[in-house]
Copies of this chain bind each other. A is one copy, B any other.
Amino acid sequence: MQKMTVVQRFSRTFRENPSLAKMLIVFTVRYSLLCGFYRRECSGGGLVAYSEAKSDSGVNIVNSTEAEGKKKRVVVLGTGWAGTSFLKNLKNSSYDVQVISPRNFFAFTPLLPSVTCGTVEPRSIVEPIRNIVKKKNLDIHYWEAECFKIDAENKKVYCRSNLAGDSNEKEEIIVDYDYLVVAMGARSNTFNIPGVAENCHFLKEIEDAQKIRRTIVDCFERASLPNLSDEERKKILHFVVVGGGPTGVEFAAELHDYVNEDLIKLYPKVKEAVKITLLEATDHILNMFDKRITAFAEEKFKRDGIDVKTGAMVVKVSDKDISTKEVKNGGAVSTMPYGMVVWSTGIGTRPVIMDFMKHIGQGNRRVLATDEWLRVEGSDSIYALGDCATINQRRVMEDIWAIFRKADKDNSGTLTVKEFQEVLNDICERYPQVGLYLKNRQMSSLVDLLKDSRGDAVKESSVEVNLEELKSALSQVDSQMKNLPATAQVAAQQGSYLADCFNRMEECEKNPEGPLRFRGEGRHRFHPFRYRHFGQFAPLGGEQTAAQLPGDWVSIGHSTQWLWYSVYASKLVSWRTRALVISDWGRRFIFGRDSSGI
């Protein structure tokens, strides 16, 4: 404190002469330094490091400082992968950013299955959002609240604090925005199957993982109580995992390892009663992966004694048993008692997003749609990214007439190669399915496609097509369109993409860098979002992992597990979480997993 006396003296000077501060602001060269001092004075002490100084405006949003008043207000809903990635990559200080989320931390969700069995501690994979934004020298404020209504018409979001407080406190917060970034994620999808919401565990939040961990240990303790029949013991120790996707498979594998490496040592007499069942409605588990991976996983699970039931659709979950129906063979329904069910079948839209969709005319859709620039269709200043939205890629066929007209500069009614080549890059950028189609058909350019569709091998220069010919050439192109998977990778890339757009908003307003507007004038401000797939892992337990990397490169086994360790360690959000997760892995290797019921 002694060291900061000079600062405190400065502060007092400013406090007593507010005009002095204003005057000094004129010397813009020193602006940021002074701002640091001035704001520090607001917070009433000199202990705050400079890096935090700028996030220190008054709480009452309406009466913010003059400088801030001119700033565009950006409201970010959510602190998951998309929201956090946006915040981490935002560099432009001309925004006043409000982050609103019911969770004051970012969670590294790909390690959630590891948390369920104590391989990694929950706290090792979370980082306070305030810590993340503190490092950035920007106006970013965080409020722990949950948005329950988006009013696109008046550019307001309605939020509610979910913190315990007495009724005197104003729990409802209404926040104005200029730009809204919706990154609220999704909820677990129960498909309205009766009993799922009441009796199943989910695996989306940190709290879910903690609850699963406690339940596993509870099941083992319950099964160890005296005076139970063998049947009851088997029921309690029957763990059912619904959903053969990467999360369900990883959880089943983790659970198998936890049981066999740690729990049976402490609960030897119930060992025989443990059973893990994995239910999958389709024909194979991990069906989004290469067939080699699926086969390896199914074989490994069989060896491990995990009962994989494919083609089994859950129809009901009571508090005691779970009923499944065979998808084929007449659809026989069978019922089995269980001790714990983990539901991991996919995601659904949150109610607040559903409500918002109704208001902006997307009521008949199942998922919130954005354009290729992540802007919500029908709301110019709202962006949506991550699991709460999908990109509604425009079809070439919808715009074929506009494309033709734009390319046909001389209005001749036909396109020459020259004319065509001038818009070629724009077409491929605006409609990535075109590029994909060419790649899959092993053609190098659109001209080949046109030639191909005309069926003759005339010289390039003589290719000239009319609208109908263009239509027929591009007719198959839209079949290449695919929705992006709901993964952390997609969300993070979208967040970083959007931040980049916000960083260069003014610049790109003046010099648009995007493709031609086929249905309008000029160019789009930005390049559209383009996802780059870096591959996907499927940990299978027993220190073995499968990986499918770009170019259909498949790798399975112990070495891939080490690749997994390195990739995940490097991707963690901070050095703190990195150190903690690595030490958690080390602890597990040395001491095994803990089975205390906390």
Contact = CB atoms under 8 A, between A and B. Distances in A.
A105 B580 contact: no
A59, A121, A145, A590 interface centre (most CB from chain B within 10 Å): A59
B163 A104 contact: no
Contact of A598 (B144, B207, B590, B591): B207
B143 A225 contact: yes
Contacts of A122: 598
A141 to B, nearest CB: 8
A222 interface: yes
Copies of chain A in the complex: 2
A295 interface: no
Interface in A53-91: 55-61
A568 to B, nearest CB: 19
A170 B130 contact: no
A49 B264 CA distance: 10
Nearest to A145: B225
A451 interface: no
A595 B56 contact: no
Contact of A166 (B207, B226, B319, B587): B319
Interface in A202-237: 206-207, 210, 217-218, 221-222, 224-228, 232, 236
A121 to B, nearest CB: 7
B266 A127 contact: no
Interface stretch (A39-47, A240-248, A402-410, A495-503): A39-47
A168 interface: yes
B144 A597 contact: yes
Interface string A119-136: 001110011101100100
A453 to B, nearest CB: 57
A166 B320 contact: yes
Contact of A104 (B49, B127, B217, B236): B217
Contact of A173 (B225, B232, B587): B225
A487 interface: no
Contact of A128 (B42, B144, B226, B594): B594
Given A128-B594, A587-B579, A594-B126, A161 B45 contact: no
A143 B60 contact: no
B59 A206 contact: no
A455 interface: no
Given A226-B173, A228-B170, A320-B166, A47 B594 contact: no
A269 interface: yes
Interface string A448-485: 00000000000000000000000000000000000000
Nearest to A123: B594
Nearest to A104: B597
A102 B551 CA distance: 54
A598 B268 contact: no
Given A144-B225, A598-B126, A43 B166 contact: no
Contact of A272 (B45, B164, B266): B45
A571 interface: no
Interface string A509-549: 00000000000000000000000000000000000000000
B121 A218 contact: no
A359 interface: no
Interface string A567-586: 00000000110011001000
A463 to B, nearest CB: 61
A84 to B, nearest CB: 13
A12 to B, nearest CB: 15
A395 interface: no
A24 interface: no
Interface string A360-389: 000000000000000000000000000000
A419 interface: no
Contacts of A166: 319-320
A426 interface: no
Contact of A587 (B103, B267, B580): B580
B227 A127 contact: no
Nearest to A134: B266
A330 interface: no
A271 B43 contact: yes
B224 A143 contact: yes
A597 to B, nearest CB: 5
A269 B104 CA distance: 17
Contacts of A319: 166
A596 interface: yes
Contact of A218 (B164, B168, B267): B164
A52 interface: yes
A18 B145 CA distance: 66
Contact of A271 (B44, B126, B580): B44
A45 to B, nearest CB: 6
7 contacts: A45-B268, A45-B272, A49-B265, A128-B595, A144-B597, A169-B225, A575-B591
What 7 A-B pairs are tightest by C-beta distance, nearest first?
Answer: A105-B596, A144-B221, A130-B266, A576-B591, A48-B268, A126-B596, A44-B272
Interface of A: 42-45, 47-49, 52, 55-61, 103-105, 121-123, 126-128, 130-131, 134, 142-145, 161, 163-166, 168-170, 173, 206-207, 210, 217-218, 221-222, 224-228, 232, 236, 264-269, 271-272, 319-320, 575-576, 579-580, 583, 587, 590-591, 594-598
Given A59-B225, A60-B227, A144-B597, 4 more contacts: A45-B271, A48-B268, A143-B225, A163-B218
